[in-house]
């Protein structure tokens, strides 16, 4: 059973869209989305530097666009996706890509919503100097109380010995100086705010207003939610979870538990892949994984699909 996942903010690197532009139709789709959201995706995905694409309002649309472009090379139609993929999920902003791929949102609606999301979260992040840092190693029963003591939020519980803390710059500095017992390293992330915490509350109301008139369908492929790792079968519930998720923790550990329960045998992470495959290698032993980093990986991805998609369940259960 094949699972497809889309990465979250921090996965972007300068120029990561460049090789995809050589593929037929890609430039046209990016130009269409760029016009719709008033953001030059080609420029930011090819020529912009690391600081420019660290901007939340830029990074989030770029990541959803790259996820949709790369997935489209493997699954040309939504029928193909529904037939071949057993479950789909996205990490944080990647959930919007997963919503489009599973049929909850159109690609255009996903791009318009992610633009609104990115702008609203950037505005919320500007109120106070905040950020996020990954704690590598350590046991949750030790790490979580330590974060609470410092006033930090476990914004991403990623499993495999990784928890991402979020809070003010001062709180993160205190964490660096006073790591929880058993934590090997604290690594600052390439994000511009304390996402998935109370600091993002203003963005929730903006996104809630934005989804009011969006056309929504029920997922045609199992959609696994960051909120609690559950399979969500109603499109409107998916959208409401997308709204609330902005200010609530990402439980990727529970998503991976659900993949395991569903019987996953292979996992593909769409572009710019790598982070979620790394987590899956540790949490899902025996599962074949592939990170779709560039078009050079497409042939291997197609071979993996041919080997593992035969048992895809089709419509969401």
Catalytically active residues, by annotation: 92, 196
Rounded to the nearest angstrom, the gap between the alpha carbon of residue 162 and the centroid of all alpha carbons in its chain is: 16
**Between the CA atoms of 267, 258, 8 and 115, what dihedral angle is there, to the nearest 10 degrees?**
110
Count of Cβ atoms closer than 10 Å to residue 139 Cβ: 13
Strand partners, 164: 134, 156
Would you put residue 181 in left (φ > 0), alpha (ψ -120 to 50) or beta? beta
Rounded to the nearest angstrom, the gap between the alpha carbon of residue 144 and the centroid of all alpha carbons in its chain is: 23
Q: What three-state secondary structure class fits 87?
A: strand
CA-closest candidate to residue 157, choices 77, 252, 259, 30: 252
Residues 102, 229: Cα–Cα separation, whole Å: 16
Give the chain's count of helices (H) and strands (E).
14, 10
Rounded to the nearest angstrom, the gap between the alpha carbon of residue 134 and the centroid of all alpha carbons in its chain is: 16
DSSP 41: H
Residues 111, 65: Cα–Cα separation, whole Å: 7
CB 313 within 8 A of CB 265: no
Is the alpha carbon torsion for 97, 103, 108, 109 positive or negative?
A: negative
CB 165 within 8 A of CB 147: yes
CB 53 within 8 A of CB 16: no
Count of Cβ atoms closer than 10 Å to residue 26 Cβ: 20
């Amino acid at each position: 059973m094949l699972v497809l996942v889309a990465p979250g903010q921090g996965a972007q690197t300068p120029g990561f869209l460049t090789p995809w532009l050589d593929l037929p139709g890609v430039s046209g789709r990016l130009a269409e989305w760029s016009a719709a959201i008033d953001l030059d995706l080609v420029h930011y995905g090819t020529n912009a530097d690391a600081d420019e694409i660290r901007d939340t309002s830029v990074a989030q649309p770029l990541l959803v666009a790259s996820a949709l472009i790369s997935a489209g090379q493997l699954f040309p139609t939504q029928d193909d996706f529904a037939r071949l993929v057993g479950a789909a999920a996205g990490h944080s902003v990647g959930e919007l890509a997963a919503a489009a791929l599973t049929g909850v949102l159109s690609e255009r609606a996903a791009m318009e919503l992610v633009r609104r999301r990115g702008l609203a979260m950037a505005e919320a992040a500007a109120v106070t100097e905040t950020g996020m840092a990954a704690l590598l190693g350590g046991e949750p029963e030790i790490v979580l109380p330590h974060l609470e003591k410092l006033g930090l939020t476990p914004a991403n519980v990623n499993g495999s010995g990784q928890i991402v803390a979020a809070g003010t710059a001062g709180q993160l500095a205190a964490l660096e100086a006073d790591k929880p017992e058993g934590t090997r390293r604290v690594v600052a992330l390439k994000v511009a705010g304390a996402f998935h915490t109370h600091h993002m509350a203003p963005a929730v109301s903006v996104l809630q207003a934005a989804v009011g008139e969006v056309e929504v369908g029920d997922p045609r492929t199992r959609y696994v939610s960051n909120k609690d790792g559950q399979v969500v079968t109603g499109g409107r519930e998916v959208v409401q979870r997308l709204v609330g998720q902005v200010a609530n923790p990402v439980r990727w550990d529970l998503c991976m538990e659900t993949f395991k329960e569903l019987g996953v045998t292979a996992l593909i992470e769409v572009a710019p892949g790598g982070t979620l495959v790394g987590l899956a290698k540790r949490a899902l032993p025996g599962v074949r994984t592939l990170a779709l980093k560039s078009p050079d990986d497409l042939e291997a991805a197609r071979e993996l699909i041919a080997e593992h998609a035969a048992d895809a369940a089709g419509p969401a259960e």
